[in-house]
Amino acid sequence: MRNLKDKSDEQLISLYVDGCNAAFDELLERHKQFIYTYIRYTVKDDELANDFFQETFIKAITTIKQGKYSENGKFTAWIMRIAHNLIIDYYRVEKCENVQSADALEVDIFNKREFSSSTIEDDMIRQQTSHDVKRLIEALPKTQREVIMMRYYYNMSYKEIADATKVSINTALGRMRYALMNMRRYADEKRIILTT
C-alpha cells in the first residue's frame, strides 16, 4: 500500500484492521498535530499532554483491534472524544484524591480573594454554573445538543461539525444559533443566572 495518503480515514481503519500497520501510521501522522494541540490546550502541561496523547492513541488502537470502532461519525470526532474522556477521568480521580475532610481543624488563611486568583467561593460558583449549563444543554433537542458539544467541548470547527453530522455548514450554524436561543429561553424560564 504505497498510496495511503489518498485513502480516507475509514479506508485506513479498514486496512489497519486487515493487518496493514502502515495505515494506522498514516492516521496518526494525519491527526497527531490537531489532537496534541487540543490536549495541550486543555491540560496546559507538556508532560501531561504527551501522556494523554499516547493514551489516546493506545486506546484507539485497542478499540479498533477489538472491532469496537463504528463508522457512525468522523474519525477526528471519535478520537477527540477519547482524548476528552481520558482528561475528564484523570481530573475526576485527581479531585477525589485531593478531597479533605470538613472536620479538619486547619484553616487556610490564604483562601481569600486578595491572596489568590481563585477562592473556594469562586470554585463553587464555577461548579454551579457548569452544572446549570449542562442542564440547559441536556434540555436541547439532540441535533442542537450535538453541535454545542462538538463546538465547545471538542473545539471542532463548523466545517468539522458539518462533516461529522453529515449536514451543510449553514445547517450546522443554524443549529448552533437555535441551540443558543433555546438555552437562553430555558435559562429565563428556569430563572437560571449564569455567572463566571
Q: Is 101 left (phi over 0), alpha (psi -120 to 50) or beta?
A: beta
59, burial (CB in 10 Å: exposed 0-12, middle 13-18, buried 19+) = middle
Which tens digits make up the pLDDT trace of 69-108?
Answer: 876 668 888 888 888 888 888 877 776 655 544 444 444 4
Count CB neighbours of 127 within 10 A: 10
Distance CA 27, CA 8 (A): 9
Which tens digits make up the pLDDT trace of 32-73?
Answer: 888 888 888 888 888 888 899 999 998 888 888 888 887 666
Which tens digits make up the pLDDT trace of 137-176?
Answer: 888 888 988 888 888 878 888 888 888 888 888 898 889 8
CATH topology of domain 1-98: Rna Polymerase Sigma Factor; Chain: A (1.10.1740)
Average of per-residue pLDDT across 188-195: 69
Q: What is the pLDDT of residue 102?
A: 47
Average of per-residue pLDDT across 108-131: 59
Level-2 CATH architecture, domain 118-196 = Orthogonal Bundle (1.10)
H helical segments located in 9-168: 9-17, 21-43, 46-65, 75-97, 120-138, 142-148, 158-165
Q: Where are the domains of the chain?
A: 1-98, 118-196
Task: Give residue 180's pLDDT band: very low, low, confident or very high (50, 70, 90).
Answer: confident
Q: What is the pLDDT of residue 2?
A: 57
Distance CA 48, CA 44 (A): 8
- Dihedral sign for Cα 96, 97, 99, 101, please: positive
Residue 184 pLDDT > 80: yes
Average of per-residue pLDDT across 102-131: 56
Express as a percent the part of the chain with pLDDT over 90: 3
- Residues 52/26, Cβ–Cβ less than 8 Å: no
Distance CA 127, CA 132 (A): 9
What cell numbers appear for 64 in the block?
479498533
What's the number of CA atoms in the CB half-sphere (13 Å) around residue 67? 1
Give the containing element (helix H, strand E) for 58. helix 46-65
According to DSSP, residue 113 is labeled G
Give residue for cell 465547545.
Answer: 152
Q: What is the pLDDT of residue 96?
A: 62
